[in-house]
Structure 1
Amino acid sequence: MDGPGPARHAEDRTVSDRPEIVCVCGSTRFAEEMDAAGRELALAGIIVLAPVVLPRAGDRPVSEERKRALGALHLRKIDLADRVLVVNPGGYVGASTRREIAHARATGKPVTFTDPA
């Protein structure tokens, strides 16, 4: 049966539809690559939800409790997203990103990778 479904791509949406929402995931070692992917998506008219990358130069140390809270917050971003984009140069996926992928799949979110190797 033809017809638009909830997993339509951004180019298939009409002006009255809300833009697609994509949650970017990946290791913090790829902060620049995640930022670049987010910019590319935003320029394509997509709403981007991305992790807070810590620490940054000049930041105070972040407690483990705060890091856990930010990790839980990122899972809620995945819940809000239509799909997840994993930024994984060289195919690298760390433990936190694997947890995010498992959460996305458990909630029925499509997951794609920048480097499916």
Structure 2
Amino acid sequence: MLERPEIVCLCGSMRFAEEMRAANRDLTFAGVIVVAPGEADEGDEGAGEVVTAEQKAALDALHLAKIDLADRVLVVNPGGYVGESTRREIAHARAAGKPVSFTDPV
């Protein structure tokens, strides 16, 4: 029987969506199963549907469940940036005993 591939959950600000996509691609080509935050327009750009507070809360809870599924967490943090939501996700991962690494020094 084949060994299950490692599962990595990406965390980070969606302002770094392109960097997250690149990390997802690189990890996937390395044979890793990647789970990532759901992308949703929060209205900042003025295009697309605006996410309601209830939808945002549901997405946040779903992402914590993705962290629970993962073997480890990779924080995509260009320039060392870690926002409030990402800090909460890091704390959740560490409380669950998940290793946490960063793409950039913090």
TM-score by length of 2: 0.92
Q: Distance in 2 between matches of 1:61 and 1:98?
A: 24
- Alpha-carbon distance, 1:16 to partner: 1.3
Q: Which runs of 4+ in 1 moved over 6 A?
A: none
Letter in 2 for 1:67: K
- Alpha-carbon distance, 1:61 to partner: 1.1
Letter in 2 for 1:116: P
- 1:1-117 aligned at under 5 Å gives the runs 16-55=2-41, 58-117=47-106
Per chain length, whose mean CA-contact separation is higher, i.e. which structure has more relative contact order (CA < 8 Å, sep 6+)? Answer: 2
Say which SS state the counterpart of residue 52 (structure 1) adopts: coil
Say which SS state the counterpart of residue 26 (structure 2) adopts: helix
Q: Where does the alignment leave 5 or more consecutive residues of structure 1 unmatched?
A: 1-14
Q: What is the root-mean-square deviation in Å for CA atoms of aligned residues?
A: 1.5
- Alpha-carbon distance, 1:53 to partner: 1.9
Structure number with larger C-alpha Rg: 1
TM-score by length of 1: 0.84
Q: Where does the alignment leave 5 or more consecutive residues of structure 2 unmatched?
A: none
Letter in 2 for 1:26: G
Q: Spell out, residue by residue over 1:32-75, the C-alpha distance to the aligned partner (whole angstroms, 9 max, x if none).
A: 00110000000000000000122188531110110010000000
